[in-house]
Amino acid sequence: MIVAIDGTAASGKSTMAHQVAEVSGFVFMDSGVMYRAVAFGFLKYHIESTERGAAAYLPKMNLRVNCIQSRTKVYVDEEDVSSRLHTSRITEMSSRIAMLKGVREFLLEVQHEIGDRFDEDPGVVAVGRDIGTVVFPDAEWKFFVTASPEVRARRRLAELSQTGIETSFQEVCDAIIERDRQDSQRVIAPLKKASDAIVINTDDLTPDEQAAVVLEYILER
Ligand code: DC
């Protein structure tokens, strides 16, 4: 069984997907980490973020993705780089290379291979912006997670202050609204709800309650 989870930025979809994977025993496939690993490779070898750069590098790239329960580990040239992918340089590069058709096609193949391998046993919880629309359009379950910009801003602000970054509520809220606009209007793989996705609004739900909603759907079958 494949459970596809998409949603707006800072909606809580990753936390929810983690918990669902942990309780269900399904493997956790975080597609964002794969884009970040490709960005890592581009930076490592000074590849320019163009279709030409992608066409030259990707056939030679040594990328290995290991989906274990509730974690997606990625290896570049057999080195585990999973914990090194959240720097601002990688974040910036990953959003650039995510716009390249060559990169999306390359990762689509990796994602389909993981889907084929674990669909029957033990099942897959897959998360990412085009998971329900492009990667697994035939997934048994599709969820689209969202929350109001104010609630997402409050959550993001709490996360930021934990890491020592001081900013204002208004600034964070404006950035989230702008990110929604960019994500839904971009030409390649825009954030879009699959027509048959179940919408979960997490405004009034704790992380446990959010996961419980999904688990109730998928485990009742
Ligand atoms: O979810 P994240 O922040 O780890 O994603 C990293 C980058 O990859 C971000 O720019 C969005 C992009 N991405 C994408 O285009 N498609 C996906 N399925 C997952 C991530």
* pLDDT tens-place string over residues 69-112: 778 999 999 999 999 998 889 988 998 999 999 999 999 999 99
- In order, the DSSP letters of 67-123 are EEBTEEEEEETTEE-GGG--SHHHHHHHHHHTT-HHHHHHHHHHHHHHHHHHTTTT-
Give the helix/strand (H/E) hosting 199: strand 198-201
Position 159 pLDDT exceeds 90 = no
Alpha carbon nearest to ligand 1 atom 11, residue: 95
Whole-structure pTM value: 0.91
Residue in 5, 16, 35, 159 to alter for ligand 1 test, most ligand atoms within 8 A of Cβ: 35
Q: Check if 32 has its Cβ closer than 6 Å to any atom of ligand 1.
A: yes
What pLDDT is stored for residue 221 in this prediction? 63
Which of 61, 101, 99, 95 lies closest to 77 in space, CA to CA?
A: 61
Condensed to tens digits (0 to 9), the pLDDT of residues 54-73 reads 999 999 999 999 988 778 99
% of the chain exceeding 90 in pLDDT: 76
Ligand 1 atom closest to residue 99's alpha carbon, by position in its atom list: 15
Position 176 pLDDT exceeds 70 = yes
